[in-house]
Amino acid sequence: MALEDEIVNIEDLEIATEVKIGDYVLLETTDGTRLLDFKDFIIGVDNITFFDRISGTYLKTSDISAVSAKAETNHAILTTLSSVTADINNNASRINDAFSSLATFVDSISTSTIDASDISSNTNSKVGFTVSNTVDKALNNTNGSLLFERFDFKGTGLVEGTDVQLGDGTTDIDNNSFFYKAKDDYGMLFNGMIGVRVPRSIGNDKRFLTIHKNAVFYARQPLQMFANAPTNSFPSNTFSHGTYNFSVYMNLKKGDKVTLHLTKFSGIEASTFSGIRIM
C-alpha cells in the first residue's frame, strides 16, 4: 500500500457532537504531538481574557451572597404584596357591594317611593306629647281617671279632644279625663312622674296606678311614699303623699287609646306624663 493511501486529512474526520470524559484531545506541544484526556483539560487564568471581570473588585463571593439575600428579601416582599393585593381586591369588592346596597336603600326611600308626608307623619314632632300639673287636681268626677292641667308639648299632628285630651274634671264623660289616641301603628315610650295624695284609710293593695289600653288593663305601677308629707290644704292626719315614677313601652295600633287610673284616690299633685315615639 502506498504511503499516500494511509494519509488521513483532519477535515475528512467525522465531526463529534460533544466531548465526554474518556475522550481525547489531540494536542501539539513543543515536545511533540500528544493526546490529552478531556478530564485533564484545564484553562488557566492566563488564558481567560475576561478574568478581571469575575475577580478582584468586579465580582466576589460576598457580592453573590448579597445579591442572593436581596433576592430572597424581594421574594418575601412580593409574596406579602400578593397577599395584600388579594385583600385590596376583596375590600374593593365589599366596598362596591356596600355602594350597591346603599344605592338600593336610597332608592327605597326616595320621594318617588315614599312621599315626604309619609316620612314625617309619625315623628315625635307630629305625635309626641308632654302634659303636666303644677296644682292639685281632684278626681272626684273622673272615677279615678287622671287629668292634667296643661300641655308642655303637643305634636303638630295631634288634635285636642280627638287624639289627646288633658281632661277638665267635669261630669262630661267624654272630656273629664286624660287620654292619648294613636295616630297610626308605632311604638311609644310613656314616662310618668305622678304625685298623689293618698287617703290613709286605703290599704297597700289599693295603692296602684294602672295603665289601660282601649279600657283594658295593660300595666300597673307601685306607689312610692314620701317620708314626710308636704304642707298643703289637706290635713296630714287624713292623707299621705307619694309618687309613681315609671317608664312603659307600648306597641300601638291606629286608634288605640291610652288612659291612666287610680283607685279611690282623692287627687293628684305636681305631675308630668309624656309619650315619645321610638319605633
Q: For the segment 102-128, what is each residue's pLDDT rounded down to a tens digit?
A: 877 777 666 566 566 656 667 889 999
Sheet holding 257-262, edge to edge: 164-165, 179-181, 257-262, 208-213, 216-222
Tens of pLDDT, residue by residue over 64-100, are 777 777 888 887 777 777 777 777 777 788 888 788 8
Higher pLDDT, 89 or 217: 217
pLDDT at 93: 81
- DSSP codes, 117-171: HHHHTTSHHHH-EEEEESS-EE-TTTTTB---SEEEEE-TTPPBTTTEE----SS
Q: What does the mean pLDDT of the chain come to?
A: 80
Q: Please give the model's pTM, rounded to 2 decimal places.
A: 0.55
pLDDT at 256: 96
Rounded to an integer, what distance in angstroms lies between the CA atom of residue 149 and that of residue 133? 5
Report the alpha-carbon angle 127-128-132, nearest 5.
Answer: 135
216: left (phi over 0), alpha (psi -120 to 50) or beta: beta
Q: Which helix (H) or strand (E) holds 78?
A: helix 61-108
Closest by CA to 197, choosing from 150, 245, 234, 149, is: 234
* pLDDT at 215 > cutoff 80: yes
* pLDDT at 3 > cutoff 60: no
Q: Which three cell numbers stand for residue 31?
A: 515536545
pLDDT at 234: 44
Kindly state the average pLDDT of the residues 247-275.
89
Provide the residue count of the chain.
279
pLDDT at 60: 62
Segments of 53-107 assigned E as strands = none
Closest by CA to 207, choosing from 225, 192, 189, 186, is: 225
Please, which residues have CB within 8 angstroms of residue 108's CB and are 6 or more apart in sequence? 114
Q: Which helix (H) or strand (E) holds 116?
A: helix 116-120
Kindly state the average pLDDT of the residues 46-52.
70
Tens of pLDDT, residue by residue over 157-185, are 999 999 999 987 776 655 688 999 999 99
Of the pLDDT bands very low, low, confident and very high (cuts 50, 70, 90), residue 132 is very high
Rounded to an integer, what distance in angstroms lies between the CA atom of residue 164 and that of residue 158? 7
Please state, for a pLDDT cut of 70, what percent of the chain lies above it: 78
pLDDT at 173: 57
CB 262 within 8 A of CB 209: yes
Kindly state the average pLDDT of the residues 228-237.
48
Rounded to an integer, what distance in angstroms lies between the CA atom of residue 99 and that of residue 83? 24
Kindly state the average pLDDT of the residues 229-247.
66
